[in-house]
Structure 1
Amino acid sequence: MASSLILTPPEALAGQWRMYPEGANAQVCELDLALQIPRLSGDLECIAGWLGERPTNWEPTPDGLWLYGIEGTGIVHFNRQKTDRYEVRLKSGGVLVLVRDTP
């Protein structure tokens, strides 16, 4: 029997997140995934330093989360590792981590 991935609804991902290079938790950038415009807020210039472009939008995918740039082009796709933890391997070889901000 084949299995398929289920798309996480945007409402389940909306909220406060932290992004940092794996192993460097002290270099944290805050990110807010919103359902209304603006769809992204937080330390976007900080995040642009790692991605090479400032993200402006996002959407869930069955296996993760896309961040898009000003032109609507995909900048980076984070792969879901487990609930509230996503990762992407950058061109530099490092891993960028996105985790939900927990109180």
Structure 2
Amino acid sequence: MVNKAFTYRAAAWLCAAFLVISGETGMASSLRLEEPSVFAGKWLATLSTTRDDPKAQKLQDKPSNTCEVELLANQTLGQGTNCLGAWLEQAPIGWFADPDGLSMTGNEGSRIQFFSRQRDGYYLATLQSGLVVTLERVAPDK
């Protein structure tokens, strides 16, 4: 009887360990790292407070609240770098894709700001000041 109890207990622990390990592996594989070419192009950056609606901000005539930023395929930034840099308090030089967002990098290649993915083509970062910066992909001209 004692032998069977030990066997059942060992089997239960092994099953639990397997479930934990397989769950972590499944979670890690669900986050996919996209190629840089997926993000290359023009993005609309919008600066707002946590209470402002980003769509309403874009409709207002405040050029300092929005700017167009270009992410280049070589993982550098094109136009709009100065505007975005004013909000981030350091001019971004480059960018790279993360499994769950985008990161802007500074002079030394270190991350200066992380933008979390909210949905396809829409990323959000909350600055230390409490202001929110969103990046939304601009539809290509046809």
Q: TM-score, normalised by structure 1?
A: 0.90
1:6 maps to 32
The residue aligned with 2:45 is 19
User: Mind listing any 5+ residue stretches in structure 1 that lack a counterpart?
Assistant: none
Match of 1:30 in 2: 68
Corresponding residue pairs, total: 102
Provide the aligned C-alpha RMSD in A: 1.5
Structure 1 partner of 2:107: 70
Deviates more, 1:26-35 or 1:55-64: 26-35
Higher helix share: 2
From 117, 124, 138, the counterpart of 1:80 = 117
Q: 2:45 is matched by which residue type in structure 1? A: M
Residue type at the aligned position of 1:35: A
- Percent identity over the alignment is 33
Which is bigger in relative contact order (C-alpha 8 A, separation at least 6)?
Answer: 1
Higher alpha-carbon Rg: 2
Q: Which consecutive residues of structure 2, in runs of 5 or more, have no partner in the other structure?
A: 1-22, 49-53
Shift of 1:76: 0.2
Where is the strand percentage greater, Structure 1 or Structure 2? 1
